[in-house]
Structure 1
Amino acid sequence: MRLFKHQILILLLCAFVILAGSSCVILGLNIEGRHVAAANTKIQTDLTTCGEIIDLKYPGPWSVRDGELYKGAVRISLNNEITDYLSRLTGDSVTIFLGESRAATTERGLDGVRLISTKVSAHVAQTVLQNGQTYLGEEDQGGQLNQAGYVPLRAESGEVIGMFNIGIAQGDGQIVWTGSWTTLIKVGLALIIAFAFFTWIYLQKLRRGLLDSILPGPQQSAAGSLSESSNDSSVEEIGELKKAFDSMAEQIQGLTEEINRANSSQREKDQADNKSLSILQLMKDSAAIDHTAAKGSEPEVSLDSPWYSEGEGLPKGLSKITLNHIVQFLEATRRPLSAEEVAEGVKLTRVTVRHYLEFLEQRGVLKSELKYGTGGRPVKLFILL
């Protein structure tokens, strides 16, 4: 199964290859179109130039005598001198037709013999000889595909009696076109390789950053150092992400349980405070009722006791009701107790009880001593004086 980063890389490469291929095709077709347009422009220019040269070299009208083509008084049929001259001048193939048959030409067959008396294609003959129009387009001449141009040759009466043809071999153009395609392909491959390389580096950094941001530091060692194991190509990023999310879920669950425990402890504390407040209120009510009969006696919890001064008050965060509740438990127990034991007895948290015990110790109501066991930390015991 492919790695996640490999899947992304393949998708991006496919998209880039499609884009680069489309661009190359469009550029190639554009180059080919420009080549054809340039060839047609040259053909039109060469047709005009050659026509003027023939008129200057051989004055007079075109005519047919005894089945042969003449220009003025000069016979053109089999007169390859003029076609060779024009071919050297323009660099094109040159052919003069009598009707639809070649009368003089530079075109040669595969055996090297001039293609005299061979006929032009039917669609060219239709356009030029019958319709009297100029033809520009591709044509197979002697087994070679040329970009060709034909103009009609008219007798003095205006009748079309032949054609003058210029052909540009597409070999040179094909070389240019092929070279352009080769260059485009090379550039495209270079861009694809560069794109793949930099994309792979970017995905590596992105993947590492994503995993580092998700995986918590302490859990990396507990999970077997996922950041190091991610270097193993056999481990997929999806599995790593799953482990990271599982670790996060465990942490969230632990935090939720801790919050629930804190809420439960707070509720128990509130219930204990409310209970102590009710007991104290009952005690006050009872003391008020029996005040006359028991005037000389001291209440169980005196506001002027050694650990409490009405004028001084309690430190911030301590409650008189809770303090009375703890002192009553200590007086009822009358033995050395740890903060945990007191917290369990009065149904409060250990941290809360410890604040009250330390306050009582400062006021001289309690004393503390350390109890050392066989192992672990020593336990601090509080003793009521």
Structure 2
Amino acid sequence: MMRSLKQQLLFLVIGPLILLSIIGTVITVAYMKDRAILATDTKARCDLATAEEILNLMYPGYWEERNGILYKGDTKITNNFAVVDRIAELTGDTVTIFLGDIRTTTTVREKNGQRAIGTRVSSIVSTKVLKNGELYLGEANVVGQMYRTAYKPIRDANGKIIGMLYVGISKKLSDELLHKSLFTIVGITVILTVLVALIAWYFTQRVIIGPLQEITKSTKELATGQLNQKVEIASKNEIGELAAAFNQMVEGMQSFAMHIARVAGTEVNTVTFPVHQSSSEPNLVQVKPVVEINLPASAKNDPIGLDTGYPLPVELPKGLNEATLKQILAFIESENRPMSAEEIGEGVNLTRVTARRYLEFLEQIGKVEVEQKYGTVGRPVKLYKSK
């Protein structure tokens, strides 16, 4: 079973991408096949017109059958290979001239290499061209091989159909060209899919998985009693909100620890927290006193250590230092009036944001009183005052 969130997210992102790529490739292949057939039929039609024009220029006159032999004007066409070879050379097609439904001159060859003289056309073509007098355009079996073909009736001076003119493009050759194009398209699609998948993996790892792993790591460390764990995630999405909630929880636990330290400072030297992990349920936290914060004897009446100079019993949040904390507290005591974070920041040369972080910590440990008033635009403003 796939339990990893990372794997699930990648599957949700890359799975539809691969599916869309496959669908797009199938649609493209079908479209290209249709376009290839259309292009081949267009070429066959044009080559047929070219062949007819060449015959008219080389051999002026009407088509005529004399004693089973086909003529164009005064020129004998039966077994006249020069004309069909020339047309084939110019067009790249196979070329045949029929007397009735029988090949009388052609470039088409049988398996033994001989020209297919005397062989007949298929009944489908014969019916449409010789009987109905229509142009045949499409796929046809020519002496055992498939071609995209064009057949046109040949008429004598009286308009009677006496034969056919044929050009054909090898389907094998056209299929090879189509397959090369398709392989190119599929290759490009695969490369683009892999590229987008890598970008999606990087985005998922950096924006979602990485921050979640950091929060998970800090949560595990917090569960062992390390109350100085905070996560630095600047995202504005739900992950960022989760990180902010985690940091607020840590601050609440630190405040709780400080409160216990102040209350118990004259009676006990340690603060105990119930954090023990169950062996049967790895994710279950059971109550068991295993973490202690030691307080020095001379710090009992000053648990935070600001007056005695002893180290803090609980580490300051990241980014705060004890010297600045004392400076802010001394400034508040010297002013002896409620002040905003901005005023206090200006008094100790700190930005409002930095000053607010120190003030929130002092509020948590009970060193300042906070009152709230509303500014000119109706927004609440916190005012800080020394206790």
TM-score, normalisation: structure 1: 0.55
Partner residue, 1:210: 212
Q: Is the 8 A contact 1:63 1:71 kept in 2?
A: yes
The one-letter amino acid of 1:20's match is: S
Quote the Cα distance in structure 1 between the aligned partners of 2:45 and 2:218. Answer: 79
SS at match of 1:21: helix
Change (3 A) 1:142 1:13: farther
Q: Aligned pair 1:90/2:91, yes or no? A: yes
Partner residue, 2:161: 160
The one-letter amino acid of 1:76's match is: I
Partner residue, 1:199: 200
Bigger shift: residues 127-136 or 170-179: 170-179
- Extract structure 1 runs of 4+ deviating beyond 4 A: 214-219, 375-380
Quote the Cα distance in structure 1 between the aligned partners of 2:223 and 2:212. Answer: 19
Quote the Cα distance in structure 2 between the aligned partners of 1:173 and 1:379. Answer: 93
Quote the Cα distance in structure 2 between the aligned partners of 1:379 and 1:71. Answer: 125
Partner residue, 1:134: 135
| Superposition map of 1:240-259 within 5 A | none
SS at match of 1:110: coil
The one-letter amino acid of 1:202's match is: F
Partner residue, 1:27: 28
Q: Is the 8 A contact 1:148 1:167 kept in 2?
A: yes
Change (3 A) 1:114 1:209: same
Quote the Cα distance in structure 2 between the aligned partners of 1:190 and 1:217. Answer: 39
Residue 122 of structure 1 and its aligned partner are, at CA, apart by 1.6
Q: Aligned pair 1:106/2:112, yes or no? A: no
The one-letter amino acid of 1:48's match is: A
SS at match of 2:119: coil
The one-letter amino acid of 2:180's match is: G
Q: Is the 8 A contact 1:28 1:180 kept in 2?
A: no
Q: Aligned pair 1:50/2:48, yes or no? A: no
TM-score, normalisation: structure 2: 0.55
| Superposition map of 1:199-278 within 5 A | 199-205=200-206, 206-212=208-214, 217=218, 220-222=221-223
Residue 97 of structure 1 and its aligned partner are, at CA, apart by 0.8
1:218-270 deviation per Cα after TM superposition (whole angstroms, max 9, x unaligned): 76342599xxxxxxxxxxxxxxx9xx9xx98xx79x99xx9xxxxxxxxxxxx
Residue 13 of structure 1 and its aligned partner are, at CA, apart by 2.4
Q: Is the 8 A contact 1:44 1:149 kept in 2?
A: yes
Size of the aligned set, in residue pairs, is 245
Residue 20 of structure 1 and its aligned partner are, at CA, apart by 1.3
| Superposition map of 1:64-75 within 5 A | 64-75=65-76
SS at match of 1:173: helix
SS at match of 1:59: coil
Quote the Cα distance in structure 1 between the aligned partners of 2:300 and 2:139. Answer: 107
Quote the Cα distance in structure 2 between the aligned partners of 1:379 and 1:10. Answer: 56
The one-letter amino acid of 1:87's match is: A
SS at match of 1:137: strand
Q: Is the 8 A contact 1:105 1:114 kept in 2?
A: yes
The one-letter amino acid of 2:24's match is: S
Identity %: 34
1:66-117 deviation per Cα after TM superposition (whole angstroms, max 9, x unaligned): 2222222322222222211211222211101111111110000121011112
Residue 172 of structure 1 and its aligned partner are, at CA, apart by 3.9
The one-letter amino acid of 1:175's match is: E
Quote the Cα distance in structure 2 between the aligned partners of 1:104 and 1:68. Answer: 11
The one-letter amino acid of 2:157's match is: E
The one-letter amino acid of 2:168's match is: G
Quote the Cα distance in structure 2 between the aligned partners of 1:218 and 1:9. Answer: 24
Change (3 A) 1:179 1:377: same
SS at match of 1:77: coil
Q: Aligned pair 1:41/2:46, yes or no? A: no
Change (3 A) 1:152 1:187: same
Change (3 A) 1:219 1:51: closer
Which one scores higher on RCO, CA 8 angstroms, separation ≥ 6?
A: 1
SS at match of 2:189: helix
Change (3 A) 1:377 1:174: same
Quote the Cα distance in structure 1 between the aligned partners of 2:158 and 2:299. Answer: 134
Partner residue, 1:369: none
SS at match of 1:112: coil
Change (3 A) 1:224 1:27: farther
More strand per residue: 2
Partner residue, 1:61: 62
The one-letter amino acid of 1:119's match is: R
Give ranges in structure 2 of 5+ residues lacking alignment: 227-238, 257-265, 268-295, 302-387
1:330-364 deviation per Cα after TM superposition (whole angstroms, max 9, x unaligned): xxxxxxxxx99xxxxxxxxxxxxxxxxxxxxxxxx
SS at match of 2:147: strand
Q: Is the 8 A contact 1:28 1:177 kept in 2?
A: no
Partner residue, 1:169: 170
Change (3 A) 1:138 1:379: closer
Change (3 A) 1:155 1:379: closer
| CA RMSD after TM alignment | 3.5
Q: Is the 8 A contact 1:69 1:76 kept in 2?
A: yes
The one-letter amino acid of 1:96's match is: I
The one-letter amino acid of 1:38's match is: A
Quote the Cα distance in structure 2 between the aligned partners of 1:217 and 1:6. Answer: 22
